Amino acid sequence: MTQPLVQQHDGVLFDLDGVLYAGPSAVPGAPEAVASLTAQGTPHGFVTNNASRSAESVASHLSELGIPASPAQVIGSAPAGVALMAEQISAGARVLVTGSAYLASLVEAAGFETVPSAAENPDAVIQGFEPTLGWADLAEAAYAVNNGAAWFATNLDYSVPRDRGIAPGNGALVQAVSYATGQSPQAAGKPEPTMFLQAAQTLGLRNPLVVGDRLDTDILGGNRAGFSTALVLTGVNSAEDAVHAEHTMQPNWILRTLEDLFNAEHRGLQ
């Protein structure tokens, strides 16, 4: 008999939005699935492109939803974006943060000076998801980029699942600035493999299973990292999407819900 998926891997790396929760609510069955992994002693982590919240905040939110989590298990795109910027921009440089207070705190902790507008002639712009961003914020980013500032993005997700449906993500807001500047930022988050590799190293995993709901970020990023991938049908993409996707975005497995992680019967795609 085929082993359950969790027994075929030494750990699991979860996306969050659309996999464990949608907006303020847990995806049905998600708390039970993560609790089962915890009880079995199976290492697992949470890899998210959401750059608006700290690891502590994400872990607290998961715990409130009944999903066991600690900050050490959370790997996000905000630190990855700041690290990418730090590779190219000297410490002490002025940076316009188009994003959350959390992202700004990471920029300052990395030794940069944050500035409130393009009028301060920033050396760089870093853009991350923040639900309260408006036209004026995007305009300041465009002014700075058009004036020669280097441009970085934590991630390029075009949409995010919410309790009321699918909403614009950081990638959509990045596109607005791109249209105004004719330029594109360097991005750190999924579908780049960096965060998956960092998560595996942090948890001591060599053969993790990456579970996500998006083909163009979770699955593509997991595939690029060289890991097995599973698309769970509780978020953005459907099984039909997976079948017709480019090979680089096709998952190894399709899960109806996270309960399928523990079943011997599961649907393979590749």
216 is catalytic: no
DSSP-assigned letters across all residues of the chain: -PPPGGGGSSEEEE--BTTTEETTEEPTTHHHHHHHHHHHT--EEEEE---SS-HHHHHHHHHHTT----GGGEEEHHHHHHHHHHTTS-TT-EEEEES-HHHHHHHHHTTPEEESSGGG--SEEEE---TT--HHHHHHHHHHHHTT-EEEES---SEEEETTEEEE-HHHHHHHHHHHHS---EE-STTSSHHHHHHHHHHT-SSEEEEES-IIIIIHHHHHTT-EEEEETTSS--HHHHHHS-GGG--SEEESSGGGGG-S--EE--
The single-letter code of the amino acid at 225 is: A
List 15, 123, 137, 213, catalytic entry: 15
17 is catalytic: yes
List 17, 137, 157, 213, catalytic entry: 17
The residues assigned a catalytic role are 15, 17
